[in-house]
Structure formats: structure tokens, C-alpha cells
Amino acid sequence: MYRKYRPFSFRELIGQDIIVQALTSQIKTGKISHAYLFTGSRGTGKTSTARILARAINCESPVEGNPCGKCAQCKLSANLDIIELDAASNNGVDSIRELRDDVSYLPSSGKYKVYIIDEVHMLSASAYNALLKTLEEPPQHVIFVLCTTNPEKISATILSRCMRFDFHLVPVEILAKHLKTILGKEGVKADDEAVMHIAKLGEGSVRDMLSIADRCITVGSDLTIEKVLDITGTGRTDDCLEITRAAFGSQPGAIIQKIEDLASRGRSIPSVSSDLASFARDVMLIKATGENTPGLTKDAYVKIKALADTIPFDFLLSFVRALGQADSEIRYSLSPKTVLECALLSVCKFDDGIAAPVIAKREYASPTAVRSREEVLSVIGFIRRELDKRNLNRLGGVFSSLSPDSCGISGDVLTITVESKYFDILNETKNKGCLNEICKEKNLKPVIVKKEEPVQEDGDLDFLNESGLEVEIVSGRKRR
Ligand SMILES: Nc1ncnc2c1ncn2[C@@H]1O[C@H](COP(=O)(O)OP(=O)(O)O)[C@@H](O)[C@H]1O
Ligand SMILES: [Mg+2]
Ligand SMILES: [Zn+2]
């Protein structure tokens, strides 16, 4: 769809009003520059604008700075005076080497030859030099439009020779309106929530939004929010509401269970995490302003407002920070689930002495807050040795049966997820105190979470045997 709906006039471009205004007024006054640099994220309209500009410049009677669409120039199916080169492809590099000769020839039919060079930051060194030389003294009949998603890679010499325009991410309301118009033209019936959700997923890129929409549309049926959620695998407000409530209510079991549910429904942990992060932000903003944030449906707003009314701002602030940080760490983590669980549990308040009651007010600025698997393993090893030293065999047994995935450290919180029979052991007052003491030596606070799952007795026992430790297990039998 993004190819079908490529804009052909400045009027059809959305979200780039300042750029459109500047360019159309240059065309109207004839004060055009010989080199333009268009920068900005993908799918925001750089290439489209470059093409419109090229056509408007050569148009015989532009209308309000737009190509008229009627003159001989506008009607050319293949305009030889508009030359597009893609620096990301090989043929682009070769073409630019020839560029220096090519520019000296006069335009074939229009007033100007316009060179559009896409992804200009990817030019090879030799092509780059060729371009520089040409930019130094461009012939009167030549105009360059350089496009790039990486302006920081463009050298100062080139920057100094171009008139630069920064394309912005398109705000979600504008994206949604655009999508609605296009769906109307396509004859697709869509509910508002579905449209808004797709617009949100576009994250400011018109092209991304349109390709997501493409994926969601099936011939002969309406576009519903259920379908969009299903196909894009992105979250529902209700899931996020539930998790937030559980976190605020300090219900670790419910949190873990919910994450488990979502994962088993096929949701990827990174997508759950980014949903939660943006949801948390929405709740905080609504709490702070009382108003709806852009991109939320009215229905979602009403629900979130009701939730926000019951939660203090303090909590929301640490919730947003914890989730924001988890969301950025999750991409590099080998155990994304642990990262997310740690973040959610870190805002819970526990008052049974074993956990960290003050975490809710902690800062989450450190990027190393979530520790690597090796570090977690070494801490667990340390705890086991300490328990050994103290002859706490039953507790030691629990620790030697832990799988590394069931433990995680975020900030100063060590989360240990265990089955209910082990949970009972860890939860005994004496054991709790002891664990607290040992963890204190590593500046950690243990949080024990009960895993609600059927337990396979035999597997666990085998594991205890392998560990080579003499341990007493729950049933009271001795094992070697
Ligand atoms: N500002 C915009 N207004 C309308 N459509 C857009 C806009 N930006 C991108 N598009 C859509 O996305 C497609 C790709 O846009 P393009 O101009 O190639 O983006 P870029 O060069 O910035 O990556 C277009 O065909 C069009 O459908
Ligand atoms: Mg492009
Ligand atoms: Zn024209």
C-alpha cells in the first residue's frame, strides 16, 4: 500500500508542514537552492518529497508550488532529467563515478537536471569524493537532493553546501487520520481502535504504518482491533491494566502468572515489555495531566484514568522508570523474561522482612542494573556455599535445585522463583532471616516468588543427586 499511495504533490504529504511550506515558497519565488539534504527516519517522506520537488522545479506552470500534473514535463512517464541513484546499491556507486561527466550535459527537456541520491551516507569513498567535487561548483542546470537516515555520517563539507531539511516522525493522530482516509479509498471497514493501534505501531513512520496495515487487511472482512492485536502480536490495554494492578498491589505470584500466560499465548516478551513501558507512561501522563494522551482511544483512556486515580504518583514514576529501563535492557538480554519480571517485582512492596520494602523509591539510572547470567550464577553459588558452611542442608538443597533461569538480579533485588514446596521452606522465618543475612553480604535483597506449576518430583530428586550434596528434602528423606 505504501507504494500505491506515494504522494504526488506537496498537498498529499502529511506531517511535514514546515518543509512543505519552505519548499513551495521557494518554487513560487524561484529561489531554489542547488543542493538539498533531506534527513530523517525511514518512511517519513524524504524520497517522495525529493521526487515532488524535482517535478515541481521542472513544471511549466506550478500550482501553489506544486507540480501541475498537466504540462508536458509533468506528463512525461519517464523523465530523463530526474536521475535517481541509490547509494546503498552497487549500481549507485558506479553511477556516481560517472556523475562528474554526466552533470555537464544539459537537461534533455526540462530546465533542470535533478539528481536524487538516496542513502547518501553509504557512498563509497571514491563516489563520495566525486560527489564533493561536483557539489563544489555545480553547473547552473543541476540540482542535487541528497537523502539520508544517518545525518551524523555526513561530512561537514557536504553539510555546508546543502540546504538541510529534517523530516520529523509523524504524530500518531495524523498517521491515524491518513490511514483512515486510505482505508476508505480501499473500501476497508475498520474500527477506530484498530486504526489507532496500527497508527501507534507505525511509530512515526508512514511507510511502516502502511505495511503493518497491509499485513492486517484480509480481503472481504473488516479490520477489527482483535484482528490487529492477533496479527501484530501486540498488547491489549487490559493485559497491561492487570499487570499494573498486580504490581501496585504487590502480588508477585499474579505478575509472574500473567507474564507466563501472555508468553504461552504466543506474545513475545520484548513486545510485552515495550507495551508495558508505553502503557506505564500513559498512566503516568494521565495521572499528571488528567487528560488523554495522543494515541489512546477513549475507551482505553477511561480505563486508565480509573486506574491512575487509585495509584500514587510516586509509584507510577518508579514503575515507568523500571519498565523503561527493562525495555532497553531486554534487547541485549539472554533471559528477557527475567529482566521483565525483575522490573515488575522491583516496584512491589514486601513487608515480611525478606524483601526490599524501599525499592519503590529507588533510582533506576544505572544501565548495569540487570546482571548477567554469570553474575547471577556466581551469587547463587556463593549463597550455596554459605548455606553449606552453616549446615543448612534443607535450604541448600533448594538452592542446588534452582535452574539459572529462575533467578535474576535487577538493581539490588535478587528474585528467586520456586515451586510451592520450596517456597514454603524459604518462607520459614528462620530460613528467611538467614537468607537475608547472606544476601546482605552481596548487598542484595532476596525476593522469593512462588511459581504456580505442577511439580515433577522425580526430576527434582535426580537433580539433587547430581549436585553431589547431601541434602534433606521436603519429605524429610535423606538423599545422597
Ligand atoms: N510524509 C508522508 N506523507 C504521506 N505519505 C508518506 C509520507 N512519508 C512516507 N509516506 C509513505 O511511505 C512511502 C515511502 O515514503 P518515502 O518517501 O520513500 O520515505 P523515506 O524516503 O523517508 O524513507 C510512500 O510511498 C508513502 O506511501
Ligand atoms: Mg527513501
Ligand atoms: Zn506541470
The SS3 of residue 58 is helix
pLDDT for position 233: 61
Least confident interval from 80-84, 172-176, 182-186: 80-84
- CB 124, CB 114: distance < 8 Å: no
For 373-450, CATH gives 3.30.300
Ligand 1 midpoint to CA 14 (Å): 9
* Burial track 31-63 (b if 16+ CB lie within 10 A, e otherwise): eeebbbbbbbbebbbbbbbbbbbbbbbbbeebe
Q: In what order do the strands lie in the sheet with 413-419?
A: 407-410, 413-419, 445-451
Antiparallel, parallel or unpaired: β 471-472 and 478-479: antiparallel
User: 321 falls in which pLDDT band (50, 70, 90)?
Assistant: very high
Ligand 2 center to residue 132 CA distance, Å?
A: 21
| Per-residue confidence band for 465, with pLDDT thresholds at 50, 70 and 90 | very low
The cell numbers describing 361, all together, are: 523509591
| Strongest mean pLDDT among 84-88, 109-113, 161-165, 459-463 | 161-165
State residue 463's pLDDT score: 41
Question: Into which CATH architecture does domain 237-355 fall?
Answer: Up-down Bundle (1.20)
Ligand 1: does its nearest atom lie under 6 Å from the Cβ of 207?
A: yes
The cell for 234 is 501486540
Residue bearing the bigger pLDDT, 88 or 24: 24
Please, which pLDDT band fits residue 452 given cuts at 50, 70 and 90? low
Does residue 6 line the site of ligand 1, with CB under 6 A?
Answer: yes
* Residue owning grid cell 520529523: 168
Q: So what's the pLDDT on residue 366? A: 38
Q: What is the predicted pLDDT for the residue at 234?
A: 63
Residue nearest to atom 24 of ligand 1 (CA): 6
Q: Residue 284 has what pLDDT? A: 92
CA distances from 242 to 121, 129, 238, 248 (A): 46, 58, 6, 10
Counting from 1 in the atom list of ligand 1, the atom nearest the Cα of 207 is 12
Q: Is the distance from CB of 73 to CB of 180 less than 8 angstroms?
A: no
290 φ/ψ sector (left φ>0, alpha ψ -120 to 50, else beta): left
Q: How confident is the model at residue 276 (pLDDT cuts 50, 70, 90)?
A: very high
Confidence band, pLDDT 50/70/90 cuts, at residue 461 = very low
Provide the CATH topology of domain 10-167. Rossmann fold (3.40.50)
Domain boundaries, the chain: 10-167, 172-232, 237-355, 373-450
SS3 140: coil
What residues have CB less than 8 Å from 272, skipping those under 6 apart? Answer: 235, 239, 259, 262, 263, 340
pLDDT tens digits, one per residue of 330-375: 888 888 999 999 999 999 887 654 444 333 333 333 344 567 777 8
Around ion ligand 2, which residues have CB less than 5 A away?
Answer: 47
* β-bridge partners, 63: 66
H-only helix segments in 39-162: 46-58, 72-75, 90-102, 125-136, 156-161
**Angstrom distances, CA of residue 87 to CA of 84, 151, 284, 339:** 10, 14, 44, 39
Please tell me the number of the ligand nearest to residue 167's CA: 1
What is the CATH topology of the domain spanning 172-232?
Helicase, Ruva Protein; domain 3 (1.10.8)
Over 438-465, what HEC string results? HHHHCCCEEEEEEECCCCCHHHHHHHHH
Strands (E), 73-220: 82-86, 113-118, 142-148, 163-166
Of 180 and 130, more confident: 180
Q: Is the pLDDT reported for residue 41 higher than 60?
A: yes
